Amino acid sequence: AATPMGAIPTGGAPGDARPGVVHVHTPGASMRDKVLDEFYNTELDYTYDLGVVVEVYIKPLRKDPSMLGKNGAAKVDDIFSNWEQLLMVNTEIVKRMREPGGRERVGEIFLQMADFLKMYAVFCAHQSKAMDAVAELRAANRRFESFLSYCQLRKETRGLDLISYLVKPMQRVCKYPLLFREIIKHSEKEAAAAPGGGSAASKAQLDVMRSAMAKIDDIVKVVNEKQRGAEQNDLMLELQTMDGAEEYEIMLPSRRLVEQRDVKACSVGIGGKTDSKLKAVRMYVFNDLVLLVLAGRRNKRSLFAYLLFDGASVRDAGSGKSNELEVQFAIEQRSYRIAFDTDAECAKFRAELDTAIAAHLEAAYREYMETAESEAFDDDAGAAAAAAAAA
C-alpha cells in the first residue's frame, strides 16, 4: 500500500504510530525545548495525516468519482475543498523546521508562512458542509460506504474514519496559538533567570515569537469568523427553503444568529387565550427577529412564526407560570407564549431577548438619524447650489 510520506522523513523506528515518522526528543531538554519538540513532532504527525487523506481518500476518489454517484467529481471538491493546498503549506513548514536550527526559528517560519495559513479559512468554512456530505453519501451510497470502511482498515489511517480526519485542520490551526504561548512563557522564564535577562539574540528571538503569535491569533480569528459565517449562511439557506417561508426574506447580509434552542410555543389570541396547545419548536434568535420552526416527519422543517423585533416586547405569560413568557409582536399583531424547561432558562432568555431587541431598535434609530442627516445635508447643498446658480 502507498504511504503518504512525500513531505516527511522516512525510516521510523518500529512501533511508531505513523509509519516512517521520526520524532525528536532533545536530551536534557528544558521546558522550552520540550515545547519546541512537541511543536515539531505534532507538526510531523499532522502533515502525515494530511498526506494520508490525499493518498488514501482523495486520489482514489478523483480517479473514480463514480463511487460518489452522479456529479462525483464535484462531490469530491465539496468534501475536501482545498485540502491539497493545506498539505503544500504544512509540507513547507515541516521542511523549514527540519533545517538546522529550524525548531528554534519556528516564530520566523510562521511569520513567513502566515499569509499561506489563511487558506485554512477556506477549508474550515466548508468543514461542516463536508461532514454533512459524507454522512449523507454514506447513508445513500453503499459503494461509498464500502470504500470508507476499507480505508479505515488500512494501516495508514490507524483505525480513524474520514470524519476524524476532516476535523483535524480546524483542530491544528487552533492549536498553534497555544503552542506559541507555551514557548513564550518558558522563554520568558529562562530570560528572567539569565544574567541581564538573556542575550540580545534570545531577546530578539522572543520578540519574533510574540509577533508570530499575534499574527497566528489574527488568522485563527479570521478562520473562526469564516466558519461561523459559512455555518450561519448554510442555516439561513435551509430556513429560507423550508415550508411556509416562501413569502419571507430570511437570508439577509446583515442578519446574524444569536442563539438557537428547543422550546415549546403557541400563539396567543385576544384576552390571553391560547389558539393552540404548546408545540415543540426550534427557536432561532437573530439580531433582528425570532423564528419558531416546527420539525415534521424526516426532520422536514416548517415555519411556525416569523417575528420581527420592530415593535416587539416581552412580558409575563398569562398562564402565571414562571417558566413561561409572552412575546408580543406589534407588526404581526400576534403574541406567542414560549415555555422553557426551567425558570432559570426562562429568566436568562428574557434578559437576552430584551437586550437584543433594545440593541436592534438602537441600531435602527441610529441608521434613521444618519439617513435623515445625510438627506438634510444633500438638501442644503442643493439649495446652496441653486442659489449660487441664480446669483
**What value does the CA radius of gyration of the chain take, rounded to a whole number of Å?**
28
**Nearest CA-CA partner of 165 in 248, 48, 279, 268:** 48
**Residue 14: is its pLDDT beyond 60?**
no
Residue type present at position 202: S
Is residue 52 helix, strand or coil? Answer: helix
Identify the pLDDT of residue 198: 72
CB distance 308 to 289 below 8 Å: yes
Average pLDDT over residues 327-346: 84
pLDDT in tens, 137-174: 998 999 999 999 999 999 999 999 999 999 999 999 99
CA-to-CA dists, residue 272 to 131, 171, 327, angstroms: 45, 50, 12
CB distance 80 to 131 below 8 Å: no
- Helix 119-140 vs helix 72-80: crossing angle, to nearest 10: 130
CB distance 30 to 98 below 8 Å: no
Identify the pLDDT of residue 377: 63
Identify the pLDDT of residue 162: 95
- Report which of residues 270 and 225 the model is more confident about: 225
**Nearest CA-CA partner of 307 in 279, 335, 272, 282:** 335
Identify the pLDDT of residue 13: 33
The least confident of 227-241, 264-278, 348-362 is 264-278
Identify the pLDDT of residue 191: 85
Identify the pLDDT of residue 295: 83
Residues across the chain:
391
C-alpha cell at 131: 461532514
pLDDT in tens, 71-105: 999 999 999 999 999 999 999 999 999 999 998 99
Q: How confident is the model at residue 376 (pLDDT cuts 50, 70, 90)?
A: low
C-alpha cell at 148: 470508507
pLDDT in tens, 202-215: 888 899 999 999 99
Identify the bridge partners of residue 274 per DSSP, sorted by sequence position: 268
Q: How confident is the model at residue 2 (pLDDT cuts 50, 70, 90)?
A: very low
Q: How confident is the model at residue 334 (pLDDT cuts 50, 70, 90)?
A: confident
**Residue 228: is its pLDDT beyond 90?**
no
Identify the pLDDT of residue 171: 93
Identify the pLDDT of residue 6: 42
Q: How confident is the model at residue 16 (pLDDT cuts 50, 70, 90)?
A: very low
pLDDT in tens, 281-333: 999 999 888 899 998 776 688 999 888 887 788 888 877 788 998 888 766 67
Which residues fall within 8 angstroms of residue 160, CB to CB, at 6 or more apart?
152
CA-to-CA dists, residue 342 to 205, 289, 292, 293, angstroms: 54, 23, 19, 21
Calculate the average pLDDT of the chain: 84
DSSP labels, 207-231:
HHHHHHHHHHHHHHHHHHHHHHHHH
Identify the bridge partners of residue 264 per DSSP, sorted by sequence position: 280, 339
Identify the bridge partners of residue 312 per DSSP, sorted by sequence position: 329
CA-to-CA dists, residue 20 to 140, 232, 285, angstroms: 36, 41, 50
- Report which of residues 142 and 360 the model is more confident about: 142
For residue 243, what is the DSSP state? Answer: B
Q: At 386, which helix (H) or strand (E)?
A: helix 343-390
Identify the pLDDT of residue 350: 87
Identify the pLDDT of residue 77: 93
Is the pTM above the cut of 0.85?
Answer: no
C-alpha cell at 378: 444633500
Q: How confident is the model at residue 386 (pLDDT cuts 50, 70, 90)?
A: low
Most confident of 4-13, 122-131, 359-368: 122-131
Identify the pLDDT of residue 320: 79
d(CA 62, CA 64) in angstroms, rounded, equals: 5
CB distance 117 to 90 below 8 Å: no
